[in-house]
């Protein structure tokens, strides 16, 4: 393991930037007929948000929990709430969400597999 000094940690912490973390939760409405079309449009919207640099990491969750996905937004909490409140899945009651102010290092990314 590499030795990380306190000075290095302090220097690096100064390089972090604010982000907003969103945890998307499924509701029982997810099982209703026709909801797959709304989920598809939710996904299309996520692609648009990615293209425009607002949704920098999106991770759909495909397990048996109530978590539908996690997203990291480059937008502040107010703008992120506006984005999420206008999401078709949230508006249809398929999803609820929780938001958290966060910090990370610009340029961090998921490694290729």
pLDDT band at 2 (very low <50, low <70, confident <90, very high): confident
6-39 residue pLDDT tens: 999 999 999 999 999 999 999 999 999 999 999 9
Q: Any idea where the domains of the chain sit in the sequence?
A: 17-104
Out of 3.90.1150.10, 3.30.2020.30, 3.40.50.300, 3.30.70.1060, select the CATH number for domain 17-104. Answer: 3.30.70.1060
> Across the chain, what does the average pLDDT equal?
96
- The answer, yes or no, to whether residue 42 has pLDDT greater than 90, is yes
Is residue 49 within 8 Å of 83, Cβ to Cβ? Answer: yes
* Exposure class string for 42-64: b at 16+ Cβ within 10 A, else e: beebbeebeeeebbbbbeeeeee
- The answer, yes or no, to whether residue 1 has pLDDT greater than 90, is no
Q: What predicted TM-score, i.e. pTM, was given to this entire model?
A: 0.90
């Amino acid at each position: 393991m590499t030795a990380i000094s306190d000075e290095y940690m302090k220097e690096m912490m100064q390089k972090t930037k604010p982000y907003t973390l969103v945890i998307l939760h499924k509701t029982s409405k997810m099982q209703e007929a026709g909801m797959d079309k709304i989920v598809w449009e939710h996904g299309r919207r996520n692609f648009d948000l990615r293209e425009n640099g607002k949704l920098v990491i999106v991770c759909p969750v495909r397990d048996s929990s109530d978590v539908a996905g996690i997203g990291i937004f480059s937008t502040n909490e107010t703008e992120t709430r506006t984005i999420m409140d206008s999401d078709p899945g949230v508006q249809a009651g398929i999803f609820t969400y929780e938001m958290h102010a966060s910090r990370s290092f610009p340029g961090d990314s998921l490694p290729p597999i």
